[in-house]
Amino acid sequence: MSEKTFPLSKEQLEAVIAKYPTPFHIYDEKAIRNNIRKLQAAFSWAPKFQEHFAVKAAPNPRLIQVLAEEGAGSDCSSLPELLLSKAAGVVGEDIMLTSNDTPADEFQKAIELGAIINLDDISHIEYLDKHAGMPQCMSFRYNPGNLIEGNDIIGKPTEAKYGVTYDQIFEAYKLAQAKGVKRFGLHTMVISNERRTEGFIYTAKLMFNLAVEIKNKLGIELEFVNLGGGVGIPYRPEEEPVDLEAVGKGIQQAYNEILGTAGLTNIAIKMESGRAMTGPAGWLVSTVLHEKKTYKDYIGLDSCMANLMRPALYGAYHHITISGKENALCDHIYDVTGSLCENNDKFAIDRKLPKIDIGDRIIIHDAGAHGHAMGFNYNGKLRSAELLLHEDGSVELIRRAETNEDYFATLTGFDGAIM
């Protein structure tokens, strides 16, 4: 079971809302630090372990900075994410650029920052060399095809646009060597929101065996194996969290049996978890504006899927509680909705909840990753603020809410007149 709690009492929350109106995302700094420390503890046996936080999960430099203070690097997929990492003080090989269909300016900035380049396709080697030059350290993203099932979020590897095949990967390393690259790693990312221990161990075994093959066939001793992210979280209260200790021990055994036997005992382990770092440490806080009774009972919020689109995009479950009614009987059934002109703009469908009143504060849990980050401006909706709750109880505004002026800022021909 996974207990769903919120770090602020009703009175504390109201004090925050008095200064920062809803809707907003709020993150718990202490929880984020605890999450990365648990991951690091699980891999403390490794010769070197580093978490490269997947910036796409929560692209805010203050959050990246908090994780960097705990030893994390960053995993970037775009030029703005590289700039966010730099703004947070993450530079050099603490950055990995793991993009796909990558334009030249992203490669150029990554080279300028001294980042590790993680290539997604064999054809990118020539493109990278032509437009940006070769990096000091490079890895390739491996797509194992039918060797791994994948899952609903990331898809089957054979259907995925990501990565190079088994046959291509050996040629890729040879081509990079010919262009002067001397330091290499290996990467994969084939699962997302996975909670099964055996899934992580199987992936590790696959990658460790491939690392041995690369050594035997090409004479390349890899500096690191990046096992990707994909560490899931228990979105539903009845779900169990990932047993990181068991995952770490299982991967340690595979490391010793496969890499140890081959004499490759200096290979570092990297991961690029995003969801597991900030997901359960973030909440979307909204206020109830309306109750509608037609064929169903609807609760309308001041937020919408522009603030959290996972339920609409994936049919994803996010737990909901009402501030001050956490222990009340869930004896009502509601659809909890936003105001977009789309019928899938629903945070919950036929959800059992306590009786909800106009003005109640709705807490949507596990929204700290792929929540605010996936926001958009459809219907002219403005993106909400982000707050960081510090360990001393103070609250910091780490992203202000968008304004109408922001929405019109990129338009031309209006002379700035919007009202």
pLDDT at res. 190? 76
Tell the burial category of 33 from Cβ atoms under 10 Å away from its Cβ (0-12, 13-18, 19+).
middle
402 annotated as belonging to a binding site for a ligand: no
pLDDT at res. 191? 77
pLDDT reading at 336 higher than 80: yes
- Those residues with Cβ within 8 angstroms of residue 418's Cβ, 6 or more apart along the chain or in another chain: 404, 405, 408
Contact of 232 with 195, CB cutoff 8 Å: yes
Q: Which of 299, 277, 302, 301 is nearest to 373 (CA)?
A: 277
324 annotated as belonging to a binding site for a ligand: no
What are 217-262's pLDDT values in tens digits?
999 999 999 999 889 999 999 999 999 999 999 999 999 999 999 9
**β-bridge partners, 348:** 336
pLDDT at res. 331? 97
273 annotated as belonging to a binding site for a ligand: yes
Helix (H/G/I), strand (E/B), else coil: 87: helix
pLDDT reading at 353 higher than 50: yes
Whose structure tokens read 């009703």?
Answer: 10
Helix (H/G/I), strand (E/B), else coil: 373: helix
Sign of CA dihedral 177, 259, 154, 285: negative
**β-bridge partners, 286:** 362
Contact of 298 with 337, CB cutoff 8 Å: yes
In the chain, what are the domain boundaries? 91-273, 281-404
Helices (H), 137-196: 166-178
pLDDT at res. 146? 65
Contact of 382 with 406, CB cutoff 8 Å: yes
Other C-beta atoms closer than 10 Å to the C-beta of 161 total 10
Cis peptide bond upstream of 23, omega within 30:
yes
pLDDT reading at 314 higher than 90: no
Structure tokens at 226: 């990046």
Contact of 329 with 368, CB cutoff 8 Å: no
Per CATH, which fold does 91-273 belong to?
A: TIM Barrel (3.20.20)
- Those residues with Cβ within 8 angstroms of residue 410's Cβ, 6 or more apart along the chain or in another chain: none
* CATH architecture designation of domain 281-404: Beta Barrel (2.40)
Positions annotated as catalytic residues are: 341
pLDDT at res. 413? 75
Taking the C-alpha atoms of residue 64 and residue 84, their distance in angstroms, rounded to an integer, is: 8
Indicate the pLDDT class of residue 418, thresholds 50, 70 and 90: low
Indicate the pLDDT class of residue 284, thresholds 50, 70 and 90: very high
What are 137-191's pLDDT values in tens digits?
999 999 987 665 655 544 566 566 677 999 999 999 999 999 999 999 999 987 7
pLDDT at res. 192? 78
Please count the residues of the chain.
Answer: 419
Query: Considering the chain, what is the average pLDDT of its residues?
Result: 94
Q: Which of 314, 306, 247 is nearest to 276 (CA)?
A: 247
Amino acid sitting at position 179:
K
221 annotated as belonging to a binding site for a ligand: no
The residue with greater pLDDT, 101 or 2, is: 101
pLDDT reading at 342 higher than 90: yes
Q: Which of 116-120, 151-155, 189-193, 396-400 has the lowest mean pLDDT?
A: 151-155
Output the DSSP codes for 182-249: -EEEEE----SSB--HHHHHHHHHHHHHHHHHHHHHH----SEEE----B----STTSPPP-HHHHHH
pLDDT at res. 158? 55
Taking the C-alpha atoms of residue 99 and residue 84, their distance in angstroms, rounded to an integer, is: 15
**In percent, how much of the chain has pLDDT > 70?**
95
223 annotated as belonging to a binding site for a ligand: no
pLDDT at res. 180? 96
**Mean pLDDT, range 286-315, rounded to an integer:** 97
pLDDT at res. 153? 44
